[in-house]
A = this chain, B = another copy of it.
């Protein structure tokens, strides 16, 4: 039996992320980088980690040496970006045990330090990123300009080089069609809200990512405080809508959710799109107490049911039907344990 730790505001917030863009001042930036420069960046970053107290907490991964499924899995877990796959030959990543910190090497910038924690805990998440930042700089400053701050390949990332974001689960606000209004409102405050997979399209699993639009002109601390405040506010609205939906007709609310649970526990074929819908219902059920299951376990299940992770699990390339079968099988074998977990 796995014991899942409850995370702050996990009823609405899936995870908190911080991303810092950093470049070594004595190595040409990515657009002008040769393979030799790329290798040097990897060696330097890996060396700094190896020379630190955290030496054993990271593994170095060369993107070129991974299978397609493994690459896809890293993207699904948000440990690397889709973009990193465009630079397969020069790209690498340092990934921490527990996968809370990952450092992409030779994407658009030399280093993209990313940290990820469950629930809404942006400050703690930022601490992790800045710890890695300190180690990687090795005491020397990264490319930095007194007026512009950290320098980056693309000027939209310059300044703090920081992107803070929260992944939020908004089934009730989506259901009552308030997301358009919210996206507009938070846009005016300098934050962007997007569906988990791609902009514009309806969010899979009712998951949205909220992040700061600009990286310059405010301190990292202020940006994080601002994001925390606006995320808190959206979470509160979501809770209110959930309560309204539940109170309007508890039977209908519970029936819809439990049917989804029943399908997850019994289906023999399930595609990714349907899974995300059912996951959303399951997460909502656990959040409002209709079922007694750890949200962290449900979120872990969600990650593991993505196509890359399924292929890694199978140890081979899977066709669409194979994936549907494996996803359904995994759900039937794993969901009962999650539903019976002690919280």
Residues of chain B contacted by A264 (CB below 8 angstroms): 262
A151 to B240, CA, bound (A): 72
Nearest CB of B to A140, in Å: 58
Residues of chain B contacted by A252 (CB below 8 angstroms): 269
CB-based contact A265/B268 at 8 Å: no
A258 within 8 A of B: yes
A258 to B331, CA, bound (A): 13
A259 within 8 A of B: yes
For this chain, the copies found in one complex come to: 2
Residues of chain B contacted by A324 (CB below 8 angstroms): 251
A63 within 8 A of B: no
A255 to B325, CA, bound (A): 10
CB under 8 Å from chain B, chain A span 144-163: none
Residues of chain B contacted by A328 (CB below 8 angstroms): 255
A328 to B256, CA, bound (A): 12
CB under 8 Å from chain B, chain A span 86-103: none
Residues of chain B contacted by A325 (CB below 8 angstroms): 251
Nearest CB of B to A324, in Å: 8
Task: Encode contact with B along A247-259: 1 for CB under 8 Å, 0 otherwise.
Answer: 0000110110011
CB under 8 Å from chain B, chain A span 239-282: 251-252, 254-255, 258-259, 261-269
Across the two chains, which residue of chain B brings its CB closest to A324? B251
A321 within 8 A of B: yes
A contacts with B: majority SS: helix
CB-based contact B266/A258 at 8 Å: yes
Nearest CB of B to A178, in Å: 26
CB-based contact A259/B267 at 8 Å: yes
CB-based contact A258/B251 at 8 Å: no
A264 to B252, CA, bound (A): 15
Residues of chain B contacted by A261 (CB below 8 angstroms): 262, 266
User: When the two chains form the complex, which single residue of B262, B267, B269, B321 contacts A266, counting CB atoms closer than 8 Å?
Assistant: B262
A261 to B296, CA, bound (A): 27
Task: Encode contact with B along A188-199: 1 for CB under 8 Å, 0 otherwise.
Answer: 000000000000
User: When the two chains form the complex, which single residue of B254, B268, B321 contacts A254, counting CB atoms closer than 8 Å?
Assistant: B268
Residues of chain B contacted by A259 (CB below 8 angstroms): 262-263, 266-267
Residues of chain B contacted by A265 (CB below 8 angstroms): 262, 265-266
A328 to B262, CA, bound (A): 13
Nearest CB of B to A262, in Å: 3
A330 to B65, CA, bound (A): 56
A-B contact pairs, 26 of them (CB 8 A): A251-B268, A251-B269, A251-B321, A251-B324, A251-B325, A252-B269, A254-B268, A255-B268, A255-B269, A255-B328, A258-B266, A258-B267, A258-B268, A259-B262, A259-B266, A259-B267, A261-B262, A261-B266, A262-B262, A262-B263, A262-B265, A262-B266, A262-B267, A263-B263, A265-B265, A265-B266
